Structure 1
C-alpha cells in the first residue's frame, strides 16, 4: 500500500492542488514550531536566570499559537474540499468507464459490490485526505527543519534524533504490511455482505413464496459476523500499532533528554539551548507517530481506491473514431465468421456465425439455450469483441466507427430490461427525452401496451408493473427512438397470446429492421427469416 498513490494525482486534479497546499501549510507549520520552541526556551531561561519579564515572549507565543490554529483550520478546509472533489471525480470516472466497458463486463461484476465501492467505499477516502496526507506532508517537512535547528545548538542531540528517527518508519512499514492484508480482508467482507444482502432483498418475494425466507437469517448472520470480525481485527491492529509507536518515540525522546541533562549539569550546554532542544525533540517524532496513527484510519479508503483503479485500468474494447456511419435504413448489415469466447471458458459462446440483415426485414434468431443468440446481439452493439470474424456495413468494419455514434443505429431491449422510478411516460421518454405525449402513446400502442396510462406509477426496477408490462414499456422505449434497427432479446417472454399478437403486429407496422431472439412459435412464424444460431447454415423460411 503506497503512502501516496500517484494514480490519484494523475486522475484527480483536486489531489494535486491539495498536495501543493499541504506542502505550503506543512512548511509554515514547521517554521512556527521552531519559533514557538525558541520563544518558550528564551522566556523560561530569562525568568530562571535573570528574572526578566515575559510580556514580549507571551505576545509572541500568542501570535504563534494563533498562527498554528489558523493553519490547522486551513488544512482541514482544504482537505475536506479536496476529498469531496476527488471522490466526485473518481465516481464519475468509474461510472463512465463502466458504461464504456458495457453490460457484458458488468455482468461479470457484483453490482452490489460496485455500488458499495462508489458509496461507502469511496467515503473512506475522507480520513485519507483529512488526516493521513496532511500528516504525511508534516512528516516530510517538520522533522528535517527541527533536526536542522537543533543542530545549531546541540549536535549530539540532533545526531541522536537523526539515528533513532528512522526506527519509526521501519516499524510503520512492518505494521503497514499487516494492515494492508487486514484492510483488503475487511473490504472483501463488506463486498460479500452487500452482495448477499442485496440478493436476499431482491429475491425476498420468491423466498417467502416458497417458505425459505427464515432460512436466510442464518446466512445473513454468518456474513455479518465475518464482516464484524474483519473490522474488529483492523481496530485491534490499529490500537497495538499505536502503542508500539508511542513506546518507541518515548524511549527516543528519553535518550535525548538524558544526554541533554548530563551535558547541562556538566556545564557544556546553556539552559536556553537545553530547553530549546528538549522542547523540539518530541516535535521531531510527533509527525511520524501521527502518520502511523492516521494510517489505519485511511487504510480502508486506500483499499477502496485500489479497487477503483482496478476498474479504471480495465482496458476498453478497441474501437475506431469514425462518425460517418452508413444509414442502416438503406444499407444491409453483415456478420462474417464471428467467433466469441468469453474469458475463463474453453468453449466458444458463438462459433463461426454468419448473418445478413437487410433493411426493413424481420429476422428471428433461434437455437438452443446458450447457443450464442444474445452474444450475437452484443457483438452488433460493440459490447463484445469477437476473437475472429467481423461486422461489416457499407464496406467498412463496424469497429472503425465511434461506438457512441454506431450504437445510435440500434435500439436494444435485453432479456431483463431495466426501468427506473417514475411513470410509464418517464420510462418511455428515456429513448427520446423530448417526445410528446402523442408520440409516447403511439410507441406504447406499437409495443402492445396501449392500455397503460402515461402517468401510471413505476417503482424501482419496474415494481408496480407486471413482468409483461415491464417488457412492453421497455419495447415502447426502443420503438420511440429514431434507431433504424431494433435488437430484441425475447420481446414477448411472459406475454399471453393476445399481447404477443399485438406486439408482433406493432413491430411489423413500424417498418423497422428487426433482429430478435425468439423461442415462441408465434414469434418465429411472424419473422421474414429464421436464422439458427449454433450451426453455420442460414435457414430461410
Structure 2
C-alpha cells in the first residue's frame, strides 16, 4: 500500500480542489435525494389537501433542488477533474525525477517494453484514483449519514434499514468483489506488460526476424499475448458487471424493505402515511448514488497494482547520489580493490581491480570478450556502482560527485550510441548546441566523414548509416564537446584499420595534454599507449607499456602472436 500512500499524498497536494469536489459532490447527492423526497411528499400532500399554497411551495422546492443538483454536479466535476489532472502532472514529474537517477542501469533490471507499459499505462490508470477510488466512498458516506439522520426523525426502523443497506452497498459488497478481482487484475496487468514487451521487441527486431525467417513465429507469439490480454479484459468486464448487478440488487432490496417496513408501521399507526412515499423516495434517491461503488473494487485493485508497479521501479525513497563538483583538470584516476557482480549472476564481473591513470596519459584496456573491460568503463562513468572498493577522481570519491557533472567533464563513446531521427547536424549539436557549421565540418573531417553533408537525413537510430559511420559520427560528436578526458569503448571496431589509425592519429595529435582510456580488441597501434591494462576473467593479469609487455613474453605477448598468426 506504500504506492497508494504516495498517490494519496500527491492527490492531497491539491487539497483545496479535493475539498471543494467533496463538498459539491455532497451537495449534489443531498440535493438529488431532497428532490425525490420532496416529490414523494408533494404527491402525498396533493392527495390529502386542496391548499394551493403548500403545493406551490413544494413545486418551487422541486425546481430549487433540481437546479441545485445540476449546478453542484457541474462544480463537483470541475474541481474533481482539475485535481485529477494536476495530480497526474505531479505524478509524472515526481516519477521521472525518481526514475532519472536510475538510468541507464535500470535497463539491466527491466525490459524496455515493460518500462513503457508502467510509465504510460500504469500512470494513466491512476487518473481514476480520485474519481473512482478516493472520492465516491467519502461522498456516499456523507450523503447516507445525512439521509439516515433525516429518516430517523420519522422512523428509527426505516433509518436502520437504510443504514444496513448503506453498509452493504458501500462497504460489504465492494470488499467481497475487491478480493475476488485481485487475482484477475494481477493477471491482466501481467498480460498487458507482456504484450507491451513483445510488441516492442517485434518492432525493434523486425529486420532480424525477417532475415532469419522467424517473423511469423514472433507474430504468432504476439497474437497469443494479445488474445490472452483480451481474455483477461473480458474477465475483468464480466466481474465488474457482476459487481454492478449485485450492488444494484442490494440497493433495490433495501428500498423494497423500506417500502414494506413503512407500510407495516403505517398500518400499525407508528408512521404517518403522509411520509411513506417520501421515505421510499428518499431510499431510492440515496441508493441511486451507490452505482460508482459497483466499479470501486475494479478501480481500487487497478490503482493499487499500478501504484505498486510504479513504486517497484522507482521507490518512494530517492536514490542517494553524490552532489559534489568534479575536480578541475588535470586530475588522476585511481581504482582501489574494485569488485563488482551483476545482479542475478553468481560469477563476479570484476575482481580486485586496482590501477592508476595519470592525467595526460593514454591507457588501453585489452583482453578477450567478457573479461570485464566494458564493465570497468561503466564504473568509471558512474553508470554502475562497485560492490566493494573505491574510485577516485583527483583524490575525491566518484560516488560523492554529481553524476551529470562527471559526465560533463568527459568525452564518452560507448559501444552502442543512439542517433535521433533528423540530420547529421542535429545529431552533432546534441554535444554542443553552440557549435558552428565550421566546427561541425571540421569534426567530421577528423573522423574521415567529410563526404557527409550536415543536412543529410539520419533515420531513427541511424538506420541509414553503416556501423562504421555510426562509430565515427559518435566520435565526431565527442570531439565537439572538447573535454580533456576521453573514455572510448571499442570506438573503431567497425572501421577498417587504415581509417582507424587515421582517427587515432587525429585524436592524439589534437589532444596531447588530454587523457585517453580506450577499450579495444584490436592490438594494433598500441605502441602509442603510455599504459596497457590486460584483463582476463574480470581480473588484471598484467599491465605496463607496450615494449615492457612484449619483453615479458607473457599473456599480452601471446595475444599478439595469436593476432599475428590470424592476420598473417
> What TM-score do you get using the length of structure 1 for normalisation?
0.92
Contact 1:256 1:281 in 2 (8 A): yes
* DSSP 3-state at the match of 1:334: strand
Which deviates more from structure 2 when the two are superposed, residues 186-195 or residues 477-486?
Answer: 477-486
Query: 1:333-367 deviations in whole A, cap 9, x for unaligned?
Result: 11111111222222211111112222222212122
Q: Matches of residues 232-243 of structure 1 in structure 2 within 5 Å?
A: 232-243=234-245
> Does the CA-based 8 Å contact 1:337-1:390 persist in structure 2?
yes
Contact residue 80 and residue 126 of structure 1 kept, 8 A? no
In structure 2, the residue corresponding to 1:338 is in which secondary structure?
strand
In structure 2, the CA distance between the partners of 1:523 and 1:163, relative to structure 1 (3 Å rule), is farther
C-alpha distance after superposition, 1:345-394 (max 9, x if no partner): 22211111112222222212122322222221222222222121101123
Matches of 1:15 and 1:233, distance apart in 2: 35
1:31–1:245 Cα change, 3 Å: closer
Q: SS in structure 1 opposite 2:411?
A: strand
- Which residue of 282, 287, 290 maps to 1:280? 282
What displacement does 1:113 show?
1.8
Instruction: Give the structure 2 partner of residue 219 of structure 1.
Output: 221
Q: Superposition pairs for residues 236-385 of structure 1, below 5 Å?
A: 236-296=238-298, 299-313=301-315, 318-323=320-325, 325-327=326-328, 329-385=329-385
Whether the 8 Å CA contact 1:9–1:16 is kept in 2: the answer is no
CA spacing shift, 1:372–1:260, aligned 2, 3 Å: same
**3-state DSSP class of the match of 2:338?**
strand
Structure 2 CA distance for partners of 1:52 and 1:236, relative to 1, 3 Å: same
The equivalent of 1:210 in structure 2 is 212
Paired position in structure 1 for 2:465: 465
Moved more, 147-156 or 41-50: 41-50
SS of the aligned residue for 1:165 comes to helix
User: Which residue does the alignment assign to 1:414?
Assistant: 414
Alpha-carbon offset, residue 158 of structure 1: 0.8
Question: 3-state SS of the aligned residue for 2:269?
Answer: coil
Q: Secondary structure at the match of 2:219?
A: helix
Is the CA contact 2:34–2:282 (under 8 Å) kept in the aligned structure 1? no
SS state of the match for residue 337, structure 1? Answer: strand
Q: Deviations over 1:382-419 (max 9, x none)?
A: 22221211011232212222223233222322221111
Shift of 1:132: 4.3
| TM-score of the pair, normalised by structure 2 | 0.88
> 1:535 matched to which residue of 2?
539
Q: How far apart in 1 are the matches of 2:150 and 2:458?
A: 70
Per-residue deviation, 1:538: 4.6
SS of the counterpart of 2:543? Answer: coil
Between 139-148 and 6-15, report the one with greater CA deviation: 6-15
Match of 2:231 in 1: 229
Report deviation, 1:146.
1.1
Q: Which residue does the alignment assign to 1:32?
A: 31
Tell me whether 351-360 or 299-308 shows the greater mean CA deviation: 299-308
Residue 176 of structure 1, CA deviation = 0.6
Structure 2 CA distance, aligned partners of 1:322 and 1:27? 52
- What is the rounded CA distance, in whole Å, between the counterparts of 2:47 and 2:541 in structure 1? 104
Structure 2 spans left out of the alignment, 5+ residues: 547-568
Runs of 4+ with deviation above 6 angstroms: none
8 Å CA contact 2:322, 2:401 repeated in 1:
yes
| Structure-2 change in CA distance of 1:31 and 1:197 (3 Å) | closer
Contact 2:362–2:531 under 8 Å retained in 1: yes
Task: State the alpha-carbon separation in 2 of the partners of residues 391 and 338 from structure 1.
Answer: 8
Q: CA deviation at 1:420?
A: 1.2
Give the Å deviation of 1:155. Answer: 1.0
Q: After superposition, give the CA deviation of every residue in 1:408-439 in whole Å (9 maximum; x if it has no partner).
A: 22232222111112111111111112222122
| 1-structure distance, mates of 2:227, 2:396 | 56
Query: Take 1:442 and 1:399, find their aligned partners in 2: how far apart are those partners?
Result: 36
Paired residues, what number?
538
Secondary structure at the aligned position of 2:215 is classed as: coil
Contact 1:125 1:298 in 2 (8 A): no
Question: What's 2:76 paired with?
Answer: 75
Deviates more, 1:418-427 or 1:529-538: 529-538
Q: Distance in 1 between matches of 2:17 and 2:107?
A: 33
C-alpha distance 524-48 of structure 1, shift in aligned 2 (>3 A): farther
Stretch of structure 1 that moved more, 116-125 or 153-162 = 116-125
Q: Tell me, yes or no, if the aligned pair for 1:90 and 1:308 is still in contact at 8 Å.
A: no
Inter-partner Cα distance in structure 1 for 2:495 and 2:284: 76
Q: Which residue of 1 aligns with 2:563?
A: none
TM-aligned CA distance change 1:68 to 1:170, over 3 Å: same
Alignment pair present for 1:111 and 2:94: no
Q: Secondary structure at the match of 2:335?
A: strand
Change (3 A) 1:531 1:389: same
SS at match of 2:146: helix
Counterpart in the other structure of 1:186: 188
Aligned residue for 2:164? 163
Q: Secondary structure at the match of 1:539?
A: strand
The residue aligned with 1:495 is 495
Structure 2 counterpart of 1:443: 443
Structure 1's unaligned 5+ residue stretches are none
In terms of mean alpha carbon deviation, does 258-267 or 313-322 score higher?
Answer: 313-322
Q: Report the counterpart of residue 124 of structure 1 in structure 2.
A: 125
How far, CA to CA, are the matches of 1:177 and 1:116 in structure 2? 24
1:198 aligns with 2:200: yes
* 1:411 to 1:92, Cα distance in 2 relative to 1, 3 A: farther
The residue number in structure 1 matching 2:510 is 510
Distance change >3 Å, CA 451–CA 275, structure 1 → 2: same
Q: Given the superposition, is the C-alpha separation of residues 268 and 399 from structure 1 closer, same or farther in structure 2, using an over 3 Å criterion?
A: same
Map of 1:46 onto structure 2: 45
Q: Is the 8 A contact 2:181 2:301 kept in 1?
A: yes
What's the RMSD between the two structures over aligned residues?
Answer: 2.4
In 2 relative to 1, CA 316–41 (structure 1 residues): closer, same or farther, beyond 3 Å? Answer: closer
2:399 corresponds to which residue? Answer: 399
Structure 1 residue 298: deviation in Å? 6.2
